[in-house]
Structure 1
Amino acid sequence: METSRATGTAGAQAGPLAGKVALVAGATRGAGRAMAVELGRAGAVVYASGRTTREHRSEVGRSETIEETAELVTAAGGTGIAVPTDHLDPAQVDALVERIDREQGRLDVLVNDVWGGDHLIEFGTKFWETDLDKGLRMLRLSMETHAITSHRALPLLIRRPGGLVLEITDGTEESNRTYRENLLFDLAKYGPIRMAFGLAHELKEYGGTALALTPGYLRSEAMLEHYGVTEETWRDAVAEVPHFAIAESPVFIGRAAAAVAADPDKARWNGRSVSSGELARVYGFTDADGSRPDCWRYFEDVVFGGKEANVEDYR
C-alpha cells in the first residue's frame, strides 16, 4: 500500500494531547479534516486515512486529499501522517492499524468519520422505487466501514485505559427521530449512533469511552460550493436559504473532538449522542468566527417547532 507522511517538525507544539495518537478514518475533507487538524493542534500524532490522494480520486470526485490534511495537521503543531485506505477493505485497514502499532505502539483516539455517500441519496423517493444498489452502497459506506475499522483498531486502543471512540454522523439521536426522507439514508445516519451506544458498553471495562458526535449545518467544502459561496462570503447564501444562517464551519466540530479527547472526565459522555453545539456550551470553545452556533436546538425550536426567534439567539 502506498503511504505518504507529512513533512514538518514532529511534536512542534506541546498541548493537552501531546504524546497521544489518533486515527481519523475519513479525514479527506469537511468535518474529518477539521477534527484531524484540531487534534493535531492539541499536540497529537494524527493518522489521516481516506481514499482520495494526489494520485487517485474516490467516487466522490472531489479534489481534497489526505496528504493536504496531514500537512495541515503538522502545520497546526501536531504530526500528520497520511495513509491511503479503503475502509471497506479489511486487509487495508489491517495494514493501517499494523503501521500505527509499529510506529507508535498505541492508539488513544479513533474517529470513525468515513462517509462519502451524499451522491447516492434519492430524497423524496419511496424505498421500493429507489435504486437499491445506490442505497446498499450508502449503507456500506456509513456502517460497514465503521464496523471494519472499529473491529481492527479497538484491540490496539484498549491496551491503555482512557481510549476514545468518536462515531461521527449527521444529527443527534433526538433529531434523527424525524424521518430523513430516504429509508436507507435514515438508517445510514442512525446506525453510528447505535454503534456508539453498543461500543460504550463493551469498552467500559477497559476504561474506554465511545460516543456519537454530529456537527450542525456544516459549511463543508461541498456545501459552500453547492451554494456558490466561500467561507468568507457564506452569509450571501442566507437570502436564498434562510436556515443556513445557523451554519457552522468545520472548525467547530474539530474543536469539539479535541475538547472531548483532552477531557480527563470524558467517560461522562459514554454512550451518548451529542452535537458540536452542545459540547461548546460545556467546554466553552467557539467556532472560527467567535460564535457558538447551536444548530440542533435551533432546528428543534424554530424549524420543527415553529417558534418565532432570531437566529442570532442560537449563535
Structure 2
Amino acid sequence: MADLVAAGPGTTGSADLTVLPGVVDHHVHLGLVDRDLFAGSPVVEVHDLGWVPEQIAAWASAPPTGVRVRYAGRFHTAPGGYPTGRSWAPVEAVRPIADAEDARAAAHVAAAQGASRIKIVLHAGMPLLGDAELDALVYAAHEAGLPAVVHAEGPGQVARAVAAGADMLAHAPWTERVPDAVLAAGARMTWISTLAIHGPAERAVAIDNVRRFLAAGGRVVHGTDLGNGPAPAGVVADEIRALGEAGLAGEELLAAVLAPEDGSGPRLAAPGPRPRDAEELVKWLETSVRVEAEAP
C-alpha cells in the first residue's frame, strides 16, 4: 500500500480503500516527548501549547518528516502562577505577567516570535491573573490576529475565560461541572479535548461537560496533552474513544480528529469504509498508511 495514489477525498473503489486527511493533535508539548516518533505516523499536524519559544521555533522549522508544527510559545501566567516551579516546565517557558500593560507587550512579543496562538493560564490552585491582565492578554492576542487559548482549572475559571472573550480552552473542563449558562455564553468557543489524561472521576466530569457543550452549539477538537503522562508520540487511541463516549460520531468525529478535507499535506489510506464511530476510526488509523494525492 505504500505506493498507492489517492484518487480523491473519498473512497478508491478499485482498491476498496478509504482516503482521508491525517490526524491533528491540537495540544502537545514537544519538549516532553520523542518528537521523531511522529514521523510517518497518522499525525500530520501538532500544536504545541507551551514551551521555550526559541526551541519550539527551531523544531517547527525542522519538524519530524511529514508533520507540521504550530505553537504558542510561553505560558502567560500570574507571577508564581502555574506552571511556575513544575519540574517539567523550563523557566524560560513561563512568562509572568505583572499588569495589563505588560500583558499586551508579552502577547505581541509572542506573535513576533512566530506564535500562532497565545497561551493563557488560569489555575486556581496557584496565583491567578487578575481580570485586567486576563482581558489585556485576550485583547492583545486578537490585536495580533491570534486566538487566545486558556488553561482553565478550578471553580469559576471557565466562566472567567468566557467573560474575557477567549477563543479556546486548552482542556475540556474537568474540575467542575460547568453551569449551563456559562456553556451557552461560551458556545462560540472551541474546546480541546484532552479527556484521556484524567482518572475516572475527572474524566466523567469532563465528558459530561463536553456533551452539554456540544448540545449548546460548541465545537470540540482532538488534543491529547502529549507529554502529560506516558503516552508516546502518535495517535492516542483512548483519546479518540473518549471523544466517542462524549457523543461525537460520524462526520462530526472525523472533523474533530482529522485535518480539513480540503487541506494540504499528507493523506491517509486504509482498507474498509469511511469510519462511522470512534472504534471504527481507531481501527482504521491502526491500518492506515500515508499516500500522496493525485495531481488534478
Q: Could you say which TM-score interval applies, normalised by the shorter chain? A: 0.3 to 0.5
Q: Greater RCO between the two (CA within 8 Å, min separation 6)?
A: 2
Greater share of strand: 2
Greater share of helix: 1
Q: TM-score, normalised on structure 2? A: 0.36
